[in-house]
Amino acid sequence: MTEKTAPPQQNEIPVFRLQKMFLKDLSFENPNAPDIYFAKIEEPKIDLKLGLKHNKLENDHWEVVLTVTADLKNKPDEKTLFLIEAEHAGIFLLKNIPEEHLPRVLGVDCPTYLFPFTRQILSQATIDGGFPPFLMEPVNFHALFENAQREKRQKMA
């Protein structure tokens, strides 16, 4: 006799849904304008930092915040072209997701969903600042998550 498993009840089906996306903070600094527009610009030196944080809200909602800081300097003279910082966030409904999967959803799926919009915000801000669009390369949040997990395991060992 084969054993049948009952289909999950409607209220047990995992739910992953973006409820709201918003900009928490945006800063664009152009300290050497207008002189920088007349300088010979070679391929700039880019110092890029990514950050991710999340916190639980109420009723199965989570806030996930993707932070990007980019400092671009002209290579020959190390003059700052611009410095841009953004905190871009989303409120996600994460319901009936098993506890063991929650870190991966928060650390991979949520920022993967937010990133293209964050990238567009940064690109438009640099255009508005008088520069060509700053187009970030795609980010592999899965690889970043796996590396962080591996480092955490190594520290515990």
Task: Assign residue 104 the CATH number of its domain.
Answer: 3.10.420.10
Would you state the pLDDT for residue 39?
86
Note down the domain range covering 99. 14-156
State pTM to two decimals: 0.85
Contact in structure between 76 and 13 (CB atoms under 8 Å):
no
Could you give the percent of the chain with pLDDT greater than 90?
Answer: 80
List C-alpha distances in Å: 21 to 11, 35, 64, 125. Answer: 25, 36, 10, 18
Q: Tell me, yes or no, whether 8 lies in a domain.
A: no
Written as six digits, the tokens of 104 are: 């991966």
pLDDT at 58 over 70: yes
58 occurs within a structural domain: yes
Q: Give pLDDT tens digits for 61-83.
A: 999 999 999 999 998 888 999 99
Give domain status of residue 7, yes or no: no
pLDDT of res. 76: 80
End-to-end CA separation in angstroms for the chain = 46
Residue 83 lies in a domain: yes
Whether 115 is covered by a domain: the verdict is: yes
Question: Would residue 2 count as lying in a domain?
Answer: no
Overall number of domains in the chain:
1
**Omega within 30 of 0 (cis) for the link into 34:** yes
Task: Determine, yes or no, domain membership for 71.
Answer: yes
The Cα 94–Cα 62 span in angstroms is: 7
Residue 124: inside a domain: yes
